[in-house]
Amino acid sequence: MESELKDLNSKQLKSTASSDDGGSAKDDRPLLKPDAADNIQELEKKFAPYVRNDVYGTMGRGELPLAEKFLIGIAMVTLLPIRVVLAMTVLVIYYLICRVCTLFSAPNRGEDEQEDYAHMGGWRRSVVVVTGRFLSRVMLFVLGFYWITETFRILDVQEKSENEAKNQSKDEDEAKDQDEESGRPGAIISNHVSYLDILYHMSSSFPSFVAKRSVAKLPLVGLISKCLGCVYVQRESKSSDFKGVSGVVTERVREAHRDKSAPMMMLFPG
């Protein structure tokens, strides 16, 4: 009897182990196979920013052929080190530009240990902004984003009739021009998928960001973040100066709304 029970227990253990192996094998399979392409249109609508139309399959979870794996291995040995060196070179060049432009210039120190160079004027600010936008685009090119397609939605505005245009006075025209100038948006709301979003927005509008306080102490990146005018917050502490930081962000948004030379705030909703 004991030997029979041992045999039964051993068989049960083998069956459970085989079932576990089968489950793990199923888990290792990609979530989306090329065969399961019935709902591709639905996926493209639901996850439009993440859809891929290349060898990696929909959502980037397709099964790679052996030739593609071989090419990826070659790229990791050859192309990846070259891109890392070029990216570091671009970063160091921009750091040196920021260092030269901030020489003999005191940073703007606010409350809650906020410090930035975003309110510099004259040629210093122009050099920081122009080179920052250009080198950010160069960095994206080095990382493989050779071109970026941008689409804009222009709302239709009804044209005013000639009679209304004749009746408008010069004072009203001047007031309208002032309203348009003061109507500059003070903030940009964007989704945040990866750190590459920061490079794109730097190349597009060069705004200020809300960053962790530890970013200000990072080598190279710390000075660049201060030139961007980042607002630093201690995210690890829930009882931190949240009201103070929100007040700084609100004031920055209002300032950018009033002054064209002030950087806009970039906000990533959580």
Q: Is the pTM of this model over 0.85?
A: no
Q: Give residue 117's pLDDT.
A: 87
216-232 in b/e form (b: 16+ CB < 10 A) is: beeeeebbbbbbbbbbb
How far apart are the C-alpha atoms of 28 and 97, rounded to whole Å?
Answer: 48
CB 63 within 8 A of CB 35: no
Total residue length of the chain: 270
> Which tens digits make up the pLDDT trace of 207-226?
999 888 889 889 999 999 99
184-195 pLDDT, tens per residue? 788 888 888 788
How far apart, in whole angstroms, are the C-alpha atoms of residue 147 and residue 140? 9
SS3 per residue for the chain:
CHHHHHHHHHHHHHHHHHHHHHHHHHHHCCCCCCCCCCCHHHHHHHCHHHCCCCCCCHHHCCCCCHHHHHHHHHHHHCHHHHHHHHHHHHHHHHHHHHHHHCCCCCCEECCCCCEECCCCCHHHHHHHHHHHHHHHHHHHHHCCCCCCCCCCCCCCCCCCCHHHHHHCCHHHHHHHHHHHHHCCCCEEECCCCCCHHHHHHHHHCCCEEEEEHHHHHCCCHHHHHHHHCCEEECCCCCCCCHHHHHHHHHHHHHHHHHCCCCCCEEECCC
Neighbours of 22 (CB within 10 A): 10
pLDDT at 222: 92
Distance between CA atoms of residues 115 and 53, nearest Å: 44
Residue spans of the chain under pLDDT 50: 1-6, 8-9, 11-37, 157-161, 163, 175, 178-182
What's the pLDDT at 8? Answer: 43
Q: Residue 74: what pLDDT?
A: 93
For the chain, give every domain's residue range. Answer: 97-150+184-267
pLDDT, residue 5, reads 42
Tell me how far apart the alpha carbons of residues 145 and 196 are, in angstroms, rounded to a whole number.
10
pLDDT at 178: 47
- Would you state the pLDDT for residue 235? 66
Amino acid at 86: L
